[in-house]
Every structure is written in structure tokens, then in C-alpha cells.
Amino acid sequence: MADRFEELTAKEQELILRYEETLDPYNSALAAGYSKQTARTVAYSWFKQPHLKPAFYETAMLRKAKRLEAHHVTAEELKHRTWLIATADPAELVTHVRIGCRHCWGEGFRYQWKEHEFEAAIERHEAAPDKVALPDWAGGMGYTTNCDPNPECPHCDGKGEEEVRPTDFRDLSEAGRALYKGIKPTKYGYEILMHDQQAARVFYAQLCGYQIDRKELTGKNGTPLAAMPTTITLVAQTDAVEASGDE
């Protein structure tokens, strides 16, 4: 495998240079000036399939190997990476939204269907008409999870329904990708893991030369402090005025 950098176009060379810095194909393609759609094609084909652009693939893989072989990270690179984690917006990875419920935008606030769901309900009814009732289509078709709640909806009181949406990770910014730690399978699906941002802030401060003192507060002779009071009563104090019998 050879470094065939000189055989590449100027734009491809820029992509290789960006990739050397981050080892992130998709965001490197965006930084090199490729459109979002093209960047996805580049990131998931040129870097994965040698036969598409042999000169590009060989150059990218060779420079990646040299970068990993060196195992050398400068203080500035470490600070930059830590700063990205410390300042990234977690909402970039996963968001919590409220969407309209099934009744929000249905005719007369009745249940609104997706067309394929309604067709499936009809088929179930036809297969067992004695057991499955004919679906009520009075609310109409066209339900979508991209709609906002209807503030006048009597079924959800305008609150809609909650939905947690993970982001398409191919669209993450450099900071978002730094914050992303991985995916953990759970009983109910999966959990998106993120790096500890508070720990990253402390580490960044240390890299910048700040000294962080940790103090443990204890009671007499190292015993635990007494429990804090559960209630605090504020007492207003006024100057006492003695009443005089003389006017």
C-alpha cells in the first residue's frame, strides 16, 4: 500500500488532510467542502471499498496507520478534544419532544390513522369479522409524528405525547461526536452513552494549569457532619421599645 496523495484532486487531498487530523470520514468530508449527501457517500464508500478509488483508499489507510502507530497526541490536541466534550450540547445526540396525539388533528378530535395502519385494521376485521370490529375512520387519515400538539385537543389537553429521538449520528458536529461514547443495549431498547462532561471540565482546567483543591468537610475528630436541618425558620428581629407612662 502506497501514499498516492499526488494522484488525487485538490478536493480529495483536502479530505485526506482533514481525515488525518480527526480520523472521522463523514465530518472530514463536510469540512473539505462536500455536500451532506455526498459526504455520506464518501464516508461510507471511499473509505470502506478499495475498488472505488484505489489511490484515495490506499492513501487514507496508510496515513491512518501512521497516525495510530505514532500514538502521539500533543497537549493542544488533548485540550481541544477535552474542550469539545466539555462544551458539547447533549441535545445534539438525543432530544425529548412533544408530538400531537392521535386525536390532536383528527376530524372532530377523533382518532387519526396512518393509511397503512388503517388498511391493516381492515384486513384484521375481514379475517375475523366476529372478533375484530370495523375500525372507525371518522378522524381521517394522515397522522404523522412530525406534528405539534393541538392546544385545543380534549384528549391530551394540548400536551400531546412524549417522544425521545436519537439523532442520526452521521449529522453530528465535531463536538457531538466527541461527546458520544457508545450504545448500550437495555431491556427496553438501547441507551446512548455520553462522556462525563463535568469530569472533562475539571480535566480541561487542569490541562490549562489551574489547581483544583478538593476538601472533605467533617465534624470533630473526623466524625461525619451532623445532618442538615430539614426546615429553616427565619425570625424577624425588631428593636424593643419600652412603653412609657409619661406622654
Task: Please state, rounded to an integer, the average pLDDT across all residues of the chain.
Answer: 84
Average pLDDT over residues 194-216: 79
Cell numbers standing for residue 47: 473509505
Q: How many CA atoms within 13 Å lie on the side-chain side of 224?
A: 3
Q: Is the pLDDT of residue 241 over 50?
A: no
Average pLDDT over residues 171-197: 89
Q: Is the pLDDT of residue 82 over 80?
A: yes
82-112: b (≥16 Cβ within 10 Å) or e: bbbbbebeeebbeeeeebbbbbbbbeebebb
Partner residues linked to 20 by β-bridges: none
Residue 19: exposure state from Cβ atoms within 10 A (0-12, 13-18, ≥19): buried
Average pLDDT over residues 212-237: 54
CB atoms within 10 A of CB 32: 19
Average pLDDT over residues 212-222: 60
Query: What is the per-residue pLDDT across 130-165, written as a single tens digit (0 to 9) for each?
Result: 888 889 989 999 999 999 999 999 999 999 999 988
Tell me if 169 sits within 8 A of 178, measured CB to CB. Answer: no
Give the pLDDT score at 221. Answer: 66
Average pLDDT over residues 154-179: 90
Query: Is 0.75 surpassed by the pTM of this model?
Result: no
60: DSSP letter: H
Give the pLDDT score at 210. Answer: 74
Q: State how far the Cα of 226 lies from the Cα of 88, in Å rounded to an integer.
A: 38
Domains identified in the chain and CATH numbers:
5-71 (1.10.10), 73-93+167-209 (no CATH), 97-164 (no CATH)
Tell me if 153 sits within 8 A of 100, measured CB to CB. Answer: yes
Query: What is the per-residue pLDDT across 8-26, written as a single tens digit (0 to 9) for each?
Result: 999 999 999 998 888 888 8
Contacts of residue 135, Cβ cutoff 8 Å, sequence gap at least 6 = 113, 118, 121, 122, 125
